[in-house]
Amino acid sequence: MPFLRGDETTQEIIVLAYGMEEGLRGFYTAVSERTDDPDVAGLADKLSEIEERHKERLFALYVSMHSTIALRETFESDIVTGIMEGGFTTEEFMDHNRDAMTTVPDLLSIAMMLETQALDLYMRYSEKIQDAPGKGVLYDLAEEEKGHLTRLGRLMEKKV
């Protein structure tokens, strides 16, 4: 991804991950707002809530490392917005995949693809970073993505 230098600090990694989680939350919100299918909207809303919880966890982690930051608004002022997990902008992804998001299984497939890309990104990037706490953050994020994939797979089994 073009916005990664390769020498990010742990704090910068958290900020980057937070921005991607926000981008994905925005994507699911956009799907929910643009669909006429209540099942697709409901799933998108649920996925959006999950991304919001990820953001909360990342913010708490950042605060634990940066005791001078207490307000989420201050933290969010450094966030790169509009980038989803996988490196796409929300609008770019919506434009290219609009027709592939009309059913619950379609949306689940896309969600699984995006989570897989995030898992791959965090794993590859963990190999590049020299900072031990940063490696730990990336491994933890990758493990969370694995958990998301497992839960999405279970949902897919129920819906297909």
Domain layout of the chain by residue ranges: 10-159
pLDDT band at 126 (very low <50, low <70, confident <90, very high): confident
Residue 35, pLDDT score:
86
Tell me the per-residue pLDDT of 1-42, one tens digit each, with 9 for 90 and over.
555 676 777 788 888 888 888 888 888 898 899 888 898 899
pLDDT at 89 over 90: no
Give the span between the Cα atoms of 25 and 79, in whole angstroms.
Answer: 14
**What's the confidence (pLDDT) of residue 85?**
61
The predicted structure's pLDDT at residue 134: 73
Tens digits of residue pLDDT in 112-125: 988 898 888 788 87
Confidence of residue 43 (pLDDT cuts 50, 70, 90): confident
pLDDT over 90, % of the chain: 5
pLDDT (average), residues 53-69: 81
Does the domain at 10-159 match CATH 3.40.50.1820? Answer given as: no
- Contact (CB, 8 A) for 4 and 125: yes
Predicted confidence (pLDDT) at residue 130 exceeds the cutoff of 80: no
CA distances from 157 to 13, 108, 121, 146, 154 (A): 33, 10, 26, 17, 5
pTM of the model: 0.80
Query: Does pLDDT of 106 surpass 70?
Result: yes
Q: How confident is the model at residue 45 (pLDDT cuts 50, 70, 90)?
A: very high
Inter-residue contact 118 to 145 (CB < 8 Å): yes
- CA–CA dist 160, 152 (Å, integer): 12
- Cα distances (angstroms) measured from residue 129 to each of 26, 50, 55, 153: 28, 27, 22, 30
State the Cα–Cα distance between residues 81 and 63, nearest whole angstrom: 20
Q: Residues 6 or more apart from 33 whose CB is under 8 A from it?
A: none
Question: CB within 8 A of 23, min separation 6: which ones?
Answer: 81, 82, 83, 84, 85, 88, 89, 90
Cβ contact 66:78 at 8 Å = no
